[in-house]
């Protein structure tokens, strides 16, 4: 029996298992699945009771997802505000800067959704980490604002021709008011791999904040070394205004998607 036939044989069983397990995760891990209303959408999709997310006296099974989500988040914040830090005090986003080498200017991007530090002793790492002593991986939704990243960094590293000169990368972790919480500075980096892919895992929380598949890309960098700076850096008034505008734009995109 071929592997294809075996897969077809077990496919109905896999579907049945997922049909039962996915809603259970959404029911039991309410806080985790509340992000982006994913838990509500999962329960609605599988026609399961929405009771884990309902607030007595405010919402019922007949309420809209938006009404249930608003009431649930409002109740959660009132209960947990002493234990959970608010958006102004927790890590919210990354800013990434590329400079040096063949680059004629500093490139700054605010739309990388995931940053992973890479070290040579990392276990169970992807194959493209194997020759990396120190480095980083950036993951995002491919977007028009990163055209210069693709054109001036990714393409020269992939296409044959003159070998690009190593460049420096700085990743700043910012809290909700624009304060820099952490700064990771990488020296003499090259792009080790660039991988666009379709993420169809409907259980994992998505960058777009919805119960859908999405196209993502990963870029792995190999660097000669790095330094860390965990001292808080307060932004200027102008930087705070720009950061707040960026935050509102991101929220608007998530709400419209």
List the domain boundaries for the chain: 3-80, 91-256
pLDDT at 39: 75
Query: Does 91-256 carry CATH code 2.30.110?
Result: yes
| Percent of the chain scoring above 90 in pLDDT | 28
Round to whole Å and give the CA distance between 102 and 51: 57
Give SS3 for 149: helix
Are 148 and 109 spatial neighbours (Cβ–Cβ below 8 Å)?
no
Judge whether residue 49 has pLDDT over 70.
yes
- 94: how many CB neighbours lie within 10 A of its CB? 20
Residues 6+ apart with CB under 8 A from 52: 26, 27, 30, 39, 43
pTM of the model: 0.59
The residue ranking higher by pLDDT, 75 or 169, is 169
Task: Count Cα atoms within 13 angstroms, Cβ side, for 118.
Answer: 27
- Asked if pLDDT for residue 138 goes beyond 90, the answer is yes
Torsion of CA 51, 53, 55, 58, to 10 degrees: -90
Mean pLDDT rounded to a whole number for the chain = 77
pLDDT score, position 253: 46
């Amino acid at each position: 029996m071929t592997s294809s036939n075996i897969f077809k044989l077990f496919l109905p069983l896999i579907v049945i298992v997922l049909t039962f397990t996915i809603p259970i995760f959404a029911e039991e891990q309410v806080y985790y699945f509340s992000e982006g209303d994913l838990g509500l959408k999962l329960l609605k999709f599988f026609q399961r009771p929405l009771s884990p997310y309902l607030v007595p006296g405010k919402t019922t099974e007949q309420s809209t997802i938006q009404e249930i989500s608003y009431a649930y988040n409002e109740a959660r914040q009132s209960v947990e505000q002493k234990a959970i830090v608010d958006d102004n005090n927790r890590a919210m986003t990354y800013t990434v800067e590329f400079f040096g080498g063949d680059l004629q200017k500093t490139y700054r991007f605010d739309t990388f959704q995931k940053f992973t530090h890479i070290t040579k002793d990392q276990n169970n790492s992807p194959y493209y980490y194997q020759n990396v002593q120190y480095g980083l991986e950036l993951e995002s939704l491919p977007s028009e604002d990163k055209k210069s990243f693709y054109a001036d960094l990714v393409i020269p590293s992939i296409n044959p021709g003159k070998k690009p000169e190593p460049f420096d990368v700085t990743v700043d972790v910012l809290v909700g008011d624009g304060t820099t919480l952490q700064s990771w500075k990488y020296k003499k980096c090259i792009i080790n791999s660039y991988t666009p892919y379709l993420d169809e895992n409907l259980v994992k929380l998505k960058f777009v904040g919805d119960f859908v598949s999405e196209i993502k890309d990963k870029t792995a960098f190999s660097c000669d070394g790095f330094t860390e700076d965990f001292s808080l850096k307060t932004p200027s008034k102008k930087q705070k205004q720009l950061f707040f505008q960026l935050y509102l734009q991101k929220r608007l995109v998530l709400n419209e998607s």
